[in-house]
Amino acid sequence: MSNWVYPLAIVTDSGRAIISAVPLENLFSLKNQGLYADQEFPTLSKEQLSNLTGTQLDFFQNWLAVNRHQWEIPDDRFINEQRGQNPSTIVFTTEARPLSIRYPKTFGKPNTSFEITLPYLKNNEGEVIDVDINGLITGRAQLQYPFNHAASAPENGPFSNTVNLLIETPRMELSYKVLEKLSQDSALKAWQGSRNGKIILTEVKGGVTQEMIVVSLQLN
């Protein structure tokens, strides 16, 4: 593990051209064993990068300067961080776009969220009308794992920093509906009682958060 960023390919000319370190048929194929034939990370050469125009190169260098810190983790710290999960937030979401892209400052680093995907249903016009009931049942079962571990986590142990639950759907009323179903679970109540957990409901459309509220759950 090193702290270098290895650019594999760069799309230029408004998507009409690709500069790639490997043949394009390998880049877009599921059979990509050939990418690591030399036991090294394939990366663009300095000569290939020098073919970028001044504006393109400036953009790439600026991007590295802004984002490189996300990967600059000492080797021993990286290994220790991967040994045990300790995310700040449990995420139950219908949104396919990664949190690391939508909230780079909060979830840009590894091991900052525990995400479970929630399927949803659309009508003939493509409008979201409900969450998928089978997906909701499956998701509730999967959520038992982080809730139970966070509720009983020792200080500085795995899930000891897990203090947030983020529910994302395309409509706020659906987010409330999901919370209503989850609130029946003893594991969620145990987590909130142990960690003083914060519950955040959001409405997300096209990867953009339209509304966000923090709600309280009455413990019985």
Rounded average pLDDT per 10-residue block, the chain, 220 residues: 58 67 61 54 69 59 58 49 76 89 87 90 83 89 93 91 95 94 91 91 91 81
- CB of 165 closer than 8 Å to CB of 183: no
pTM greater than 0.95 (yes/no): no
List CB contacts of 47: < 8 A, sequence separation 6 or more: none
Tokens 């009931």 belong to residue: 133
pLDDT at res. 92: 95
List CB contacts of 71: < 8 A, sequence separation 6 or more: 3, 5
pLDDT at res. 57: 59
In this structure, the number of other CB atoms found within 10 A of the CB of residue 52 comes to 17
Widest CA span of the chain, in angstroms?
66
pLDDT at res. 1: 41
pLDDT at res. 54: 55
